Structure formats: C-alpha cells, structure tokens
Amino acid sequence: MSIHAFKMQLKPGVLDEYRKRHDEIWPELSALLTESGIHDYSIFLDEQTLSLFAVLRVRADSNRDALPDHPVMKRWWDYMAPLMEVEPDNRPKEWALPLIFHHA
C-alpha cells in the first residue's frame, strides 16, 4: 500500500458547491474508486488560498492509472471543471506533494 498526496486549486466563490457535490458523490464514482484500489481518500482546504490538499491510500495492486480513461471519471471531471483549475481534458490540475514525514 502507498500514500499519495497532491494539491488542486479551487476557483473563488464555489466552495459551498464543491462541498455539496462531494457530499453527494455519485455511488458509481465511489464504487469505481474502491474497485481501483483507492481508499481512505480525504481532501483538505486551505481557506486563505483555496488550495485543496488530497491524501489517499492506494493498494499495491491498484489500477489507479486507468481512471482517466473511465467514462464515470471523465463525467465527474466534466461536472467539477467549472469549480476548479483544470487541464484541457477537464482533469483537475494536480501538483504532487512529496512525503517529508510520516508517523504510523
């Protein structure tokens, strides 16, 4: 199992809608994440900068790399694109965060 952390960027004025959409996450997306080997996935907010910090655990046998090609993932990215900084394919822009310290 491994831990992945990354940063994303929320647009101004959309925090409530971003939170609402995640509170109502689609069951098929939740299932896809689990089936892909992702669990214990959290997103934190820096309220001053609107930076989002995501941390997730991935099983060793994960197929996380296949997610960008899955129709449910693409549909979610299209749905979320108006709220975040995104790549041309509507994938959220991500900045990897290297692990500096971990206490188990």
Q: Residue 22 catalytic?
A: yes
3-state helix, strand, coil in the chain (%, to 5): 35, 30, 35
* 18 token code pair: 């971003």
| Environment class of 17 (CB within 10 Å of its CB; exposed 0-12, middle 13-18, buried 19+) | middle
User: How does DSSP classify residue 10?
Assistant: B
Selected catalytic residue, list 22, 39, 70, 102: 22
Catalytic amino acids?
22
